[in-house]
Amino acid sequence: MKRKKHISSKFSIQFIFIMLLFLIIVILSIMIINLGKEIYISINNDRTNNYELRVSLSYISNKIRQADKKSMVDIRDFNGNPAIVIKETYDGLNYENWIYYNDNNIYEILIDEGESFGIYDGMKVLEVDNFNISKINDNLYKISVVEEGRSSDLVISLYSVQRKTMD
């Protein structure tokens, strides 16, 4: 009789020990999965923010590069912020494409040359925390964009200003 009690108590202690080990493994696995999930979310958010920052700079730089002709790109003040004004001609008519910053958004509007417009008349293109463009010299522009606390700068050189005709 004693032997059966001893064997059953030994069996129950081994069973409890194995179940505790299994429970510890399950708990550690859940903790590792949650940690991995948080790391993945953080990496994905960083990647999305970097993508949006690059898109905003690429959009503006491509607009400027498309207008790479002498005296077609200008920086003007609009509502206290610098704005890019790109002159364009369609069907013999002159237009101005304004890219400007207001209220944490970059706007774009195409208007007749010299026409005035309201601050919210343009189409929202991108949402950013801050936007600045400055002319460094005749053919060099610096674009700065801040989004979600991250800033990025891009310097663009227009080649049409550098080209000289040979006589």
Q: What is the DSSP letter of 40?
A: H
Number of other CB atoms surrounding residue 61 within 10 Å:
15
Predicted pLDDT of residue 166: 47
Number of other CB atoms surrounding residue 99 within 10 Å:
23
The domains of the chain are located at 1-167
Please state the pTM of the whole predicted model.
Answer: 0.67
Q: pLDDT digit string (tens) for 23-75?
A: 999 999 999 999 999 999 999 988 887 787 788 788 888 888 887 777 788 88
With 0-12 CB in 10 A as exposed, 13-18 as middle and 19+ as buried, what is 28? exposed
Q: pLDDT digit string (tens) for 121-136?
A: 899 988 888 888 888 8
Across the chain, what does the average pLDDT equal? 84
Q: What share of the chain is helix, strand, coil (3-state, %, to 5)?
A: 40, 40, 25
